Structure 1
Amino acid sequence: MPSALVSHRAIVDAACLTPWGDEASGLPGAAPRELPPVTGFAISRFGPLVHAVAADCLGPAESSGNHVGRHGAGTAVVLATVFGDAVTTDAATRRTVAGKQPGALLFFQSVTTSILSHLTRHYGIRGPLTCVSAVADPAGEALRVADALLDDPELQQVLVIGVETEPNERVRRVHESAAAAGREARLPAGDAAAALLLRRFENDPAAARLTLAEAHPGPTPARSDDPASAFGWLGRFMGLCADAGARRHGTYVYELSR
Structure 2
Amino acid sequence: MLAEARWPEPGDGPAPTVPGFVHSMFPPLVAAVADRCLTRRHGTPPAAGDVGARTAVLLASAGGDRASADHVHTTVATGGRVGPLFFYQSVPNSIAGHVAARWGLGGPVLCLSPTTADPRAEATAEADLLLYDGDADEALLVLIEQTATGDHAVAVLLGQGDTECGPGDFAVSSPPTS
Please state which band the TM-score falls in when normalised by the shorter chain: 0.7 to 0.9
Aligned position for 2:82: 102
Residues 77, 159 of structure 1: 8 Å contact kept = yes
- Supply the distance in 1 between the matched residues of 2:126 and 2:174 (Cα, whole angstroms): 21
SS for the counterpart of 2:164 is strand
1:231 is matched with which residue: 160, 165, 173? 173
Task: Please list every run of 5 or more consecutive structure 2 residues that lacks an aligned counterpart in the other structure.
Answer: none
Aligned position for 1:240: none
2:164 is matched with which residue: 211, 227, 233? 211
TM-score by length of 2: 0.85
- How does 1:1-258 map onto structure 2 within 5 Å? 11-18=1-8, 29-30=9-10, 32-59=12-39, 63=43, 68-70=47-49, 71-136=51-116, 137-167=118-148, 189-201=149-161, 209-211=162-164, 231-232=173-174
How many residues are treated as equivalent by the alignment?
A: 172
Pairwise CA distance, 1:63: 4.6
TM-score by length of 1: 0.60
SS for the counterpart of 2:30 is helix
- Supply the distance in 1 between the matched residues of 2:172 and 2:139 (Cα, whole angstroms): 27
Relative distance call for 1:157 and 1:230 in structure 2 (3 A) is closer
SS for the counterpart of 1:76 is strand
Pairwise CA distance, 1:35: 1.5
Aligned position for 1:181: none
SS for the counterpart of 2:147 is coil
- Supply the distance in 1 between the matched residues of 2:75 and 2:66 (Cα, whole angstroms): 14
Relative distance call for 1:193 and 1:212 in structure 2 (3 A) is closer
Residues 92, 107 of structure 1: 8 Å contact kept = no
Q: Deviations over 1:169-202 (max 9, x none)?
A: xxxxxxxxxxxxxxxxxxxx3200000000114x
Q: Deviations over 1:203-256 (max 9, x none)?
A: xxxxxx55369xxxxxx7x7xxxxx989238xxxxxxxxxxxxxxxxxxxxxxx
Aligned position for 1:254: none
Q: Aligned residues: percent identity?
A: 33
* Shift >6 Å, 4+ stretches: none
- Give, as a single letter, the amino acid of the residue that structure 1 aligns with 2:78: A
- Supply the distance in 2 between the matched residues of 1:161 and 1:230 (Cα, whole angstroms): 10
The structure having more radius of gyration, on CA atoms, is 1
- Give, as a single letter, the amino acid of the residue that structure 2 aligns with 1:17: W
